[in-house]
Amino acid sequence: MKKLYRIARALVLLALLSPLGLAWLPPDRLPLRLEPAFQAVLQSSFRQLSITLAATLALAALLTVVLGYASVLWQRFGRTGASILKAVESVPAILVALFCYAPVSGYLARHSSGASQTVSLLVFILAATLTLLPEAVRGVAIPLGDLYHRKYSLSFRSYGFTKRRILAVLMGSHVMRGTLKRIAAGILLKTLVLDCSFGFIIQLGFGSYGTPAHASPGALIAANRDALFEGGTPALFWLPSLLLVAISTSFLLTLGEREEAAA
Amino acid sequence: MKAAPISLSGFSIFLGERPLVKESSFAPAPGSSSVVIGPTGVGKSVLLKTIAGLLPARTFRLGGAMRVQGIDAYVNGRKTGHAHWSNIMNRGLVFVPAESAQAMNPALTLEQNLKLLAPDSRPLIERRLKGHFGLDFASFARLYPDEVSGGELQRITLMVLLSRRGDLVLLDEPTVNLDRNLRWRFISFLNKEILPARDKTVLMASHDLDFIRALRLDDVYSLEKASLQRLDGLPSANGFQKPEAKKSPAEGLAIRDLSQSYFKRGIFGERSFKAFTGLSIQFGRSTIYGITGPSGCGKSSLIKAILRLLDGTKGEILLDGEDLVRIKPRERGRDPGAFRAFRRKMAVVQQDSRFAFFPDRRIRDSFRHIAELQGGPGSFDREELLKHLAKVGLSSVHLDSHPRALSSGEMKRIDIARALAAKPEVLLLDEPFAHIDFETRARVMRTISDYMAQNPTILLVVTHEDFDLRYFVEKSYDFPELVS
């Protein structure tokens, strides 16, 4: 029964995440037939979203694990890092993203759309990672520090294990793997929200030809906001919105997963 | 008529193929107070966790039916759905785990934890903490759980959990980490505020006969050989005949003018505070020293200081003529070369032995890793380990289990066997018999005494329990009287 539930749950998650995969299929292989121009933009925006999510997750998760581990290993590093991350956290995420674009705004305006889009994506990933890190690092450092200081350090240090090795073992423990899974879901959810709101704002502020070029589904929704009015095709607005809701739900389901209490 | 708070009918719990509870029926009356006693590892805590709905389904197999608060909790051995359990929780079920401090979220302050666990009960909690445990909650409210001592956290958590709204209270070994003084205060609290009111049904699991004897309980049940039976009276606790310890002319452990300070996070940043100062004492070989004292007075810190696992130690700890503080003044996560020989001479059994072995791995694997670290299989005598395991009433089968599949008492005994198999010169035991019933406890004490008869060991036991002081400890010190 439990196994069946797990399989059903995995299938639901896969179905909810499928827009990110379907975006990479050739247009003629898609199960849905849409107006070709809209379908191309829709697919392109979800392709960019999947790249953004994957790249941000890779970078943020790597930094989170390294910084979380290091901040427990070296307490002074942990304290200094926590102060810096707290300062970053005090700035709203969307402003951090806009500030990050300031140094490269000239480059983005001068170069072709391809180069501009790549740099824009890199800057966005950096900005998103920066805004996600404080909570993610805390999410690793607090349970890891708790496991080490309150539970495992006394016996294991007395056997002669180094702190580094004990922490490495604890990082791979069931509890920490569950924690990391939830942190990854949190990173993805926040990146998605930031990406779409950023795309939405850029589209509203600069239009399709503005810089930075940020073709996320948020920009697509903003571009088609008129479709809700009389004479428009509401599907142009609702379809990307619903797909985003589906993807967010899958992250929320993972985030809300609770481990069974230990015996 | 009020529904029976708990009703088991033909209920069974299996750990693998081993039955812990077999086709038992049990229904305490509403407003009654009962205790389940039984040997260590028999399944008392598992039964309580099952009633609380906290048992991991992947480890245990259930059978029969159970109703909690008149609602189906398990039917044909299957846990009922979320709606049923929400109703049970809404009617009020309070579970106080053995390590009650674990109920606190480490990322929240104590005040935030209180708001989460018992939102409307702050005045009651403050009064109870002040009146029964002498703690002023306001001075702890802004601190995080890791910023208060284990004893303080235990007291605060106990009062927070016992002040939650709910008419079914499940207490799992509630006195395990309480010192003697606090244990008596806790007994007085239960006898004055919880048990006489009869507005709550209280069911507890405990091995502590002294504690149970002092409580005004209605019923005593024994869980033994998977059968839950009502007893007419409490069994008596017996000691054991101790063999004479091997004498040695070698020096013991000398502590001179030792002080230990910590850093504590406060509103204006970190500040240093003293765990203890001015400790001077000599621990000879072949004597069992007992250290008692209230929770948070620095007993566990002394053990960590001797093991050189703390910063901020001043003074001298002399072993074999060498000052351990000079050799290793700071804890940086690894031992300097000069200290490693001393590390091998010392062994510790920590308060909670579930954390003495790798999580998610079989205990046998933990032993393999420890042996590898300590220089190959020869450094960790397997035969010696099996011999000590047998003496404490366990076998090599237990080594194939994961820590989560064993009871706290079984883990404790494996940890003690591990410590003895390491053949230490200095053996530091922090609450070594907590979670162990009195009969098994005498057996474990005899095992340690047998080791002392063969090896002139320096043995320090931090304990809160009268039984240990009565039957095991030879020379006892009250820690606050030792320090300035």
Q: What is the pLDDT along chain B (484 residues), one digit of tens a residue?
A: 567 889 999 999 988 788 899 988 889 999 999 999 988 778 888 999 999 998 876 778 899 999 998 999 999 988 998 899 999 988 889 999 887 777 888 888 999 999 999 988 999 999 999 999 889 999 999 988 877 877 788 889 999 999 988 889 999 988 877 777 788 889 999 999 999 888 889 999 988 888 888 898 999 999 988 888 898 888 776 767 778 878 877 888 999 999 999 876 655 556 777 889 999 999 999 899 999 888 778 888 999 999 999 988 999 999 988 999 999 999 988 999 999 999 989 999 998 888 999 988 899 998 888 888 877 544 567 888 899 999 999 988 899 988 888 888 899 999 999 999 989 999 999 988 887 888 888 899 999 999 999 999 999 999 888 788 888 889 999 998 888 7
Read off the CATH number of the domain in which A141 is found: 1.10.3720
The CA distance from A74 to A145, in Å, is 11
Q: What is the pLDDT of residue A261?
A: 37
Inside any domain, residue A213: yes
Inside any domain, residue A8: no
Would an 8 Å CB–CB cutoff place B335 in contact with chain A? yes
* pLDDT above 70 (res A213): no
Q: How many CB pairs under 8 A join A and B?
A: 83
Q: What is the pLDDT of residue B293?
A: 86
Between chains, do A158 and B358 touch, taking CB under 8 Å as contact? no
The residues with which B85 forms a beta bridge, in sequence order, are none
Q: Which of A143, A155, A261 sits opposite B54 (nearest CB)?
A: A261
Question: CA of B116: how far to CAs of A46, B53, B150, B417, in Å?
Answer: 40, 20, 20, 40
Please tell me the total number of residues recorded for chain A in this structure. 263
Q: Tokens 């259930």 label which residue?
A: B62
CA distance B357 to chain A (A): 8
Q: Which residue has the higher pLDDT, A186 or B152?
A: A186
Between chains, do B333 and A163 touch, taking CB under 8 Å as contact? yes
Sign of the alpha-carbon torsion through A5, A6, A12, A15: negative
* Strand boundaries in B146-187, DSSP class E: 168-172
* pLDDT above 90 (res A163): yes
φ, ψ of residue B124 in degrees (nearest 5)? -65, -45
Chain A residues within 8 A of B106 when measuring between CB atoms: 142-143, 146, 150
Chain B residues within 8 A of A145 when measuring between CB atoms: 146
DSSP per-residue codes, A99-123: HHHGGGHHHHHHS-HHHHHHHHHHH
Inside any domain, residue A208: yes
The CA distance from B387 to B395, in Å, is 9
The three-state secondary structure class of A257 is: coil
Q: Which residues of A34-72 are buried (b: 16+ CB within 10 A; e: fewer)?
A: beeebeebbbebbebbbebbebbbebbbebbbebbbebb
Q: How far is CA B62 from the centre of its chain?
A: 27
CB B457 within 8 A of CB B284: no
The ipTM value here is 0.72
How many structural domains does chain A have? 1
Q: What is the pLDDT of residue A209?
A: 56
Two structure tokens written together for A148: 């080490």
Q: Which of B355, B374, B405 sits opposite A155 (nearest CB)?
A: B355
Long-range contacts of B267-273 (CB under 8 A, 24+ apart): B267/B142, B272/B312
Between chains, do B56 and A151 touch, taking CB under 8 Å as contact? no
Q: Tokens 């003495």 label which residue?
A: B356
One-letter amino acid for residue B114 of the chain: L
In which order are the strands placed within the sheet that holds B18-26? B18-26, B6-15, B60-68, B71-75, B78-79
Chain B residue whose CA is closest to A3: B58
Would an 8 Å CB–CB cutoff place B333 in contact with chain A? yes
The CA distance from B411 to A155, in Å, is 13
Mutate to test the interface with B, among A158, A162, A164, A260 (most CBs of B within 10 A): A158
CB B62 within 8 A of CB B78: yes
Q: What is the pLDDT of residue A263?
A: 32
DSSP per-residue codes, B21-65: EEEEEE-PPTT-EEEEE-STTSSHHHHHHHHHT---TTTEEEEEE
Q: Tokens 């304290």 label which residue?
A: A79
* Strand boundaries in chain A, DSSP class E: none
Q: Which of A145, A154, A260 sits opposite B56 (nearest CB)?
A: A260
CB B55 within 8 A of CB B12: no
A114-162 tens-digit pLDDT: 777 788 888 889 988 999 999 999 999 999 998 998 889 999 999 989 9
The CA distance from B345 to B423, in Å, is 8
Mutate to test the interface with B, among A1, A140, A154 (most CBs of B within 10 A): A154
Q: What is the pLDDT of residue B2?
A: 67
Inside any domain, residue A98: yes
Between chains, do B49 and A164 touch, taking CB under 8 Å as contact? no
Chain A residue whose CA is closest to B57: A260
Q: What is the pLDDT of residue B468?
A: 85
Q: Which residue has the higher pLDDT, A15 or B2?
A: A15
Chain B residues within 8 A of A1 when measuring between CB atoms: 78
Q: Which of B46, B56, B340 sits opposite A262 (nearest CB)?
A: B56
Q: Residues with Cβ < 8 Å from A172, sequence gap 6 or more?
A: none
Between chains, do A158 and B360 touch, taking CB under 8 Å as contact? no
Chain B residue whose CA is closest to A1: B78
The residues with which B427 forms a beta bridge, in sequence order, are B347, B459
Inside any domain, residue A102: yes
One-letter amino acid for residue B78 of the chain: R
* Strand boundaries in B51-164, DSSP class E: 60-68, 71-75, 78-79, 93-96
CA distance B1 to chain A (A): 34
CB B457 within 8 A of CB B451: yes
Would an 8 Å CB–CB cutoff place B371 in contact with chain A? no
The CA distance from B321 to A150, in Å, is 32
The three-state secondary structure class of B230 is: strand
Q: What is the pLDDT of residue A191?
A: 92
Between chains, do A155 and B348 touch, taking CB under 8 Å as contact? yes
Span of A7-21, A216-230, B122-136 with lowest mean pLDDT: A216-230
Inside any domain, residue A36: no
CB B127 within 8 A of CB B92: no
* Backbone φ/ψ region at B427: left (φ over 0), alpha (ψ -120 to 50), beta: beta
The three-state secondary structure class of B455 is: coil
Q: What is the pLDDT of residue B374?
A: 75
Two structure tokens written together for B43: 């399944």
CA distance B312 to chain A (A): 15
Inside any domain, residue A43: no
Inside any domain, residue A35: no
Between chains, do B49 and A263 touch, taking CB under 8 Å as contact? yes
Range(s) of the domain holding residue A209: 48-262
Torsion from C-alpha of B249, B255, B256, B257, nearest 10 degrees = -160
The CA distance from B161 to B174, in Å, is 11
Mutate to test the interface with A, among B109, B152, B360, B385 (most CBs of A within 10 A): B360
Q: What is the pLDDT of residue A136?
A: 93
Q: What is the pLDDT of residue B376?
A: 56
Kindly calculate the radius of gyration of chain A based on its CA atoms and give it in whole angstroms.
21
Q: What is the pLDDT of residue B266?
A: 54
Q: Which residues of A touch B (CB under 8 A)?
A: 1-2, 73, 138, 142-143, 145-146, 149-164, 169-170, 173-175, 260-263
Taking the CA of residue B163 as centre, how many other CA atoms within 13 Å lie in the half-sphere pointing to its CB?
A: 23
Residues A199-209 have a mean pLDDT of 73
Q: What is the pLDDT of residue A212?
A: 60
